[in-house]
Amino acid sequence: MWGIDLRYIDEVSLARQIFLSMKQRILAGQLSQGEALPSTRELARGLSVSRNTVCEAYDMLLTEGFIVRRQGAPTRVAEGFHLAMKKAPLPVDASGLHIALYFPGMEFGEQFTSKCKEAVSEYPL
């Protein structure tokens, strides 16, 4: 629900996962400024978690200023939190080789090994 994928076997609490997912969607502009969020009961039911878990996530979002609450009105995305995403060029070191970057979803060691193999195959000795 709402593009939130929870990992139940994780060091990060479910509330923190919900918070991080919604924060990322707000910053990416996927949730518009002023857009109403689902009620805590609705989101908890949709994610199959406790309402307290969703309340905790919403409290984190409120504390950091990502959402606004008014009694008797739906919780909404706060104004002014959209970040424009631009593609940056891949950094190159002095030798002209691309510097390995960390890509989420890949272990650092795997990525480093992968990038080194690519560099070696492009520039054989």
pLDDT averaged over consecutive 10-residue blocks of the chain (125 residues)?
79 92 89 92 94 95 93 90 55 51 52 64 60
Do 71 and 27 share a domain, yes or no? yes
What is d(CA 43, CA 17) in angstroms, rounded to the nearest whole number? Answer: 13
Q: Report the domain count for the chain.
A: 2
Do 64 and 116 share a domain, yes or no? no
Tell me whether residue 65 is exposed, middle or buried, using C-beta atoms within 10 angstroms of its C-beta: 0 to 12, 13 to 18, 19 or more.
exposed
At 50, which CATH number?
Answer: 1.10.10.10
Q: What's the pLDDT at 35?
A: 93
Q: What's the pLDDT at 4?
A: 84
Q: What's the pLDDT at 75?
A: 94
Q: What's the pLDDT at 8?
A: 84
Do 68 and 103 share a domain, yes or no? no
Long-range contacts of 41-47 (CB under 8 A, 24+ apart): 43/1, 43/2, 43/18, 46/1, 46/2, 47/1, 47/4, 47/6, 47/18
**pTM of the model as a whole:** 0.63
Do 64 and 20 share a domain, yes or no? yes
Alpha-helical (H) ranges within 1-125 are 14-27, 40-47, 51-63, 108-122
Do 71 and 34 share a domain, yes or no? yes
**Domain membership flag for residue 1:** no
